[in-house]
Structure 1
């Protein structure tokens, strides 16, 4: 299996990856094909695919923020069962992030992720029928990796940029040091403000959430 970075919308592997995304994610979670041009060319956004026998069987997008010494996992896709794709992606991503942090003269503090919470909603999504992408399975795997839930109600702006709030997720953080039980609220505010700056239409629920975070000093990490 190969771990290959995509930096151009014209790369045939990107078309395969985008089809995979549409197969496993709800429409409001998938950025339109053409809107990927700038993100792929952004050196700070790292999009990699797992290629097995010339087929894209998995993908991950993440980024490292040197000013805050944290990372964000945008998504991880396992397209087939029985190939250890999740472990392959996680290990390669971790090695890459550790290298980026080291070049920044630091050890990585941790990584954010939005994680589906299927217990919050009766709505079901089959995620393309790919069982490893089942939200219950993914949530437990991410818990095993070390992700913890940040203690506040979470929504995010729809990636369709229609001003709608997307719920049904938890905002989580995986500290490199298991002894970390809280992180600064200011870090969360700064990160979310920067991360969603590309979407001009922010729902009021999201704006209220950010204002509530600004009033806090620390946010507790809870079991996932």
Structure 2
């Protein structure tokens, strides 16, 4: 299996990856094809695919913020069972992030991720791909060490229509597994940077930011 980076929408692998995303994720979670041009060309956004026998069978997008020394996992797609795609992507991603942190003269502090909570919202559309079942994904991420930030989380729709997307938790994978809280200053700075591309924020998102800014820290809880 190959770990291949995509930096251009003209790359034939990108078309296959985008089709896989449309097959797996709800429509509001998938950026339109043409809107990927700038993100793919952004050196800070790292999009990799797992290629098996010429087919894209998995993908992951993430980014590393040098000034925060944290990463964000945008998404991970396991498109086929029986190939250990998840383990392959996790290992390759961590190797890449550790090298980026080392080049920054640091040890990676941790990694954010948005995780669906099927216990709150029972029905999610994931294209019938069993490996992407939200119950399975949540448990896998728990096994990896992710912890839930203890506040009601919403995020702006990637349609940039001002709608709030709910039913997810903002989680964090600390390098130090004994960490039980996170400074809200880091959370707020990260969220503002991450969603700066979306100009139309919902009111509930702004209220969430205000809630966090009024606190010094937020607990990290099991998921």
What TM-score, normalized to structure 2? 0.99
Gaps spanning 5+ residues in structure 2: where?
none
Match of 2:3, SS state, is strand
How far apart are 1:140 and its partner, in Å?
Answer: 0.2
Q: Which residue in 2 is equivalent to 1:78?
A: 78
What is the total number of aligned residue pairs between the two structures?
A: 223
Mapped to 1, the partners of 2:12 and 2:51 lie a distance apart of 12
Mapped to 1, the partners of 2:108 and 2:62 lie a distance apart of 14
Q: Which residue in 2 is equivalent to 1:196?
A: 195
Q: Which residue in 2 is equivalent to 1:153?
A: 152
C-alpha contact 1:156 1:206 (8 A) present in aligned 2: yes
Q: Which residue in 2 is equivalent to 1:167?
A: 166
Mapped to 2, the partners of 1:178 and 1:214 lie a distance apart of 25
The equivalences for 1:26-175 within 5 A come to: 26-125=26-125, 127-175=126-174
Per-residue deviation, residues 45-94 of structure 1 (Å, max 9, x unmatched)? 00000000000000000000000100000000000000000000000000
Match of 2:119, SS state, is helix
How far apart are 1:130 and its partner, in Å?
Answer: 1.3
C-alpha contact 1:81 1:130 (8 A) present in aligned 2: no
Q: Which residue in 1 is equivalent to 2:221?
A: 222
Mapped to 2, the partners of 1:9 and 1:191 lie a distance apart of 27
Match of 1:174, SS state, is strand
Per-residue deviation, residues 95-132 of structure 1 (Å, max 9, x unmatched)? 0000000000000000000000001113332x121111
Match of 1:139, SS state, is helix
Mapped to 2, the partners of 1:183 and 1:164 lie a distance apart of 27
Per-residue deviation, residues 25-50 of structure 1 (Å, max 9, x unmatched)? 00000000000000000000000000
What TM-score, normalized to structure 1? 0.99
Mapped to 2, the partners of 1:45 and 1:190 lie a distance apart of 17
Match of 2:80, SS state, is coil
C-alpha contact 1:79 1:130 (8 A) present in aligned 2: yes
Gaps spanning 5+ residues in structure 1: where?
none
How far apart are 1:207 and its partner, in Å?
Answer: 0.4
Mapped to 1, the partners of 2:108 and 2:170 lie a distance apart of 19
Q: Which residue in 2 is equivalent to 1:178?
A: 177
Following TM superposition, the consecutive aligned residue runs of length 4 or more in structure 1 with deviations greater than 2 angstroms are 122-125
Mapped to 2, the partners of 1:120 and 1:192 lie a distance apart of 23
Match of 2:64, SS state, is strand
